[in-house]
A and B are shown apart, each in its own frame.
Chain A
């Protein structure tokens, strides 16, 4: 299967700071990438869908000014949590999909964000 990486794997930051999470598709080009948030013992909640070269589409209730998404290339998408607060602490997972692997989504290993 295709490989998706995320960096960092875990990050601890102070309240009010911004944190950037990178998502890379290592061996395929991803025209579409997805960002999810997962709370303990819960399912994945889709935050936004990003397509290379265009603005991300955010799900209802997700603040686009707080969760900035950039999909600058076919292998890289970034999620920036701006002015992070303790309630933003969560497990953030990216996913990538390409037309060449029709219908299949591959997930990154996740990033554990802890805001103090």
Chain B
């Protein structure tokens, strides 16, 4: 019940295209869903996050879509750029000082010229 399933495992998108990464969760107690971007040899960086009281959140070229009934959320990267090439992790947790992030398995995104 603690799993967060992420797909696809890898993704190749042309420059200017839309990158879409999907995640699904089981634990209905989760109420915080962040996405992290990780470049090789670096730690993950918080990209964007959403709480279940909204269905969509947009920050620049990055948008999270959230479907509470389906227990799914996705990251959309508009106008994808070669500099977006990285590994993306979705995560989920429930509010509380003892809570821990549950990570997806990661998606390696490559944006080609």
Contacts and interface: CB of A to CB of B under 8 A. Distances in A.
Interface of A: 1, 4, 6, 31-32, 34, 41-44, 46, 49, 91, 93, 95, 99, 102-110, 112
Contacts of B43: 4, 6, 93, 95, 107-110
Bin chain B's interface residue count.
20 to 34
Contact of B45 (A44, A102, A107): A107
A103 B97 contact: no
Contacts of B105: 42-43
Given A32-B97, A109-B42, A104 B49 contact: yes
Interface of B: 32, 34, 36, 41-46, 49, 89, 93, 95, 97, 100-101, 103-106, 108
Contacts of B93: 103
A43 B49 contact: no
A31 B72 CA distance: 31
A49 B100 CA distance: 8
Contacts of A95: 43
B95 A43 contact: no
Given A43-B106, A104-B49, A93 B100 contact: no
Nearest to A9: B41
Contact of A110 (B42, B49, B100): B42
A32 B98 CA distance: 9
A104 B95 CA distance: 10
A32 B43 CA distance: 18
Nearest to A51: B97
Contacts of B34: 104-105
A44 B46 contact: no
25 contacts: A1-B45, A31-B97, A41-B106, A41-B108, A42-B106, A43-B103, A43-B105, A43-B106, A44-B44, A44-B89, A44-B103, A91-B41, A93-B44, A102-B95, A103-B93, A104-B46, A105-B101, A106-B46, A107-B43, A107-B45, A107-B46, A108-B43, A109-B42, A110-B42, A110-B43
